[in-house]
Structure 1
């Protein structure tokens, strides 16, 4: 029996070369599902929006030094972070990595003071829709409607505020 490889979480700028496979495969996935070049969608926001102080850092999960999953967030408004570019390498899907990415993004956003997360996913990404529903995100659309009639599917999640317990560790 082999043990699962250890995953390492790192925060890097979009310019880090380890991000390139994420964006390349994500672009291919979008282009395949939606029939158009995804470059404009991926390049819609400047890289600086995913770095401090704007509130976003790209997170990657590394397995033996290779990126296998990741995501990013950016400031949406003073209380809200927008999740973007959530991805799992096609060879590493169905292992819970996307859930781990979400948990790490939620933790990082909470640390930065955000109290709400917002995101959209495309109507032809049922796996993403299912992930967000299964991890406590509230759909801001009619889940009974045909996703193709809605367009981008918006979700939100309110982050719990950690309460001060009065212990020395909280000081």
Structure 2
């Protein structure tokens, strides 16, 4: 079977199975750890954020069936923010997420971006490892317990960093992310 890329929308019917799998995976890994259900994260951005000219949503099809996907949206004038890179549960360990990542990086470059920014959750070590092995710089202390950060930020310059550039590392909140989030939720209750 032949694989092909299809640029579409996260709300398109063909995208639905992967989006539903990703939502279930977020729920299984995080539940309401972040103070809201996983579906809230999946609905945080309207589909239009992942449309040209500022964004993109791509599926990798095998025999017409989506087996992996991902997206980016505008972060700032020069930076695309990657979101929702995902592989169908029956097609893992084939390098498909890396293929999606490379395709999205190339598309971001075609759309005029020079930098990629992304975050992944602390309970997604396979995603962390993918980004580290794909040339992304961790904007956090990789030797620290990742739970203190909640979200693990990364960046990559598509043509190398500007001369003299030094990445700004994220400092976790005192007591860790979860304690800070619980205090924030209690304050607004």
Whether TM exceeds 0.5 here: the answer is yes
Helix, strand or coil at the partner of 1:100: helix
SS of alignment partner, residue 14 of structure 2? helix
- The equivalent residue for 2:9 is 13
SS in 2 for 1:9: strand
Query: Equivalent residue of 1:136, what SS?
Result: coil
Distance (whole Å) between structure 2 residues aligned to residue 15 and residue 25 of structure 1: 14
Structure 2's unaligned 5+ residue stretches are 161-189
Structure 2 counterpart of 1:68:
67
Rounded to whole Å, the distance in 2 between the matches of 1:23 and 1:124 is 18
Contact 2:10 2:19 (C-alpha < 8 Å) held by counterparts: no
2:59–2:67 Cα contact (<8 Å) kept: yes
Per-residue deviation, 1:35 = 1.6
SS of alignment partner, residue 140 of structure 2: coil
Deviation at 1:150, TM superposition (A): 1.3
Deviations 1:58-89 (A, max 9, x none): 10000111100010000000000000010000
Aligned length: 156
Q: 1:39 offset after TM fit, Å? A: 0.9
Match of 1:51 in 2: 51
Aligned to 1:139: 138
> Partners in 2 of 1:160 and 1:18 — Cα distance?
33
Using the TM superposition, give the Cα deviation of residue 22 of structure 1 relative to its aligned residue in structure 2, in angstroms: 1.3
Instruction: Note the residue ranges of structure 1 that are not aligned, 5 or more in a row.
Output: 162-171
Aligned to 2:84: 85
How far did 1:113 drift?
Answer: 0.3
Residues 17-59 of structure 1 deviation map (CA, whole Å, 9 limit, x = unaligned): 1111111000000000002331110110111110022x21210
Moved over 6 A (4+): none
What is the TM-score when the length of structure 2 is the normalising length? 0.80
Matching residue of 2:31: 35
Question: Is the partner of 1:13 in helix, strand or coil?
Answer: coil
Distance 1:111 1:69 in 2: 21
* Distance across 2 between alignment mates of 1:85 and 1:13: 12
TM-score (norm 1): 0.89
